Structure 1
Amino acid sequence: MNRIPKASYTPEFRAEAVKLAHEVGSSEAARRLSISIKTLGNWQRSDKAGDLAKIGSTQRPKTEAESELSRVKRELAEVKMERDQLKKFAAYFARQSR
């Protein structure tokens, strides 16, 4: 199975995610935002150390074409995963109907 390509997050998103995690808890915030609990934990540790704004500063900004390509790749990976699940469901229900 293919993995979903790595996402890049804005500094504003990271700050809001940490704020939400303080309000409702880390696992609930990660679930609501559809991000990994480990990623959110890393952001929280960086926030405590005062280094949250430095995360991602070493990455060069993406061009419009690069961001569009990464969005399309991410969408394609999601569609492939959904397709594979539907194939499994169809095979399961075909066996049940016999």
Structure 2
Amino acid sequence: MAETRRKFEQDFKEGAVRLVRETGKPIAQVARELGIHDGTLGNWVNADRRRRGESTDGLGEDERAELVRLRRENAELRMRCDVLKRSMALWVEEAMGR
């Protein structure tokens, strides 16, 4: 038999998130009190944090994008450094007459 999903009004979602944010109660406790699954409430809270720029990992959207850019740049610079090391080794071997 197919599972039916409950639909929640936006006001209900915002109120549930506000309860978690303002009371400091754990998500699981607030979810039990409201009769909803704690994973559902957790998703709502995480979405609200992202909208507010309060990411759960401590990084905002701009910071995450910069981190990705810096990691790519770092990888490219490592590759360039490796190429220079190898070319230097070949140059030294050639200069030593080996």
TM-score normalised per structure 1? 0.45
**Which protein is bigger by CA-based radius of gyration?**
2
TM-score normalised per structure 2? 0.45
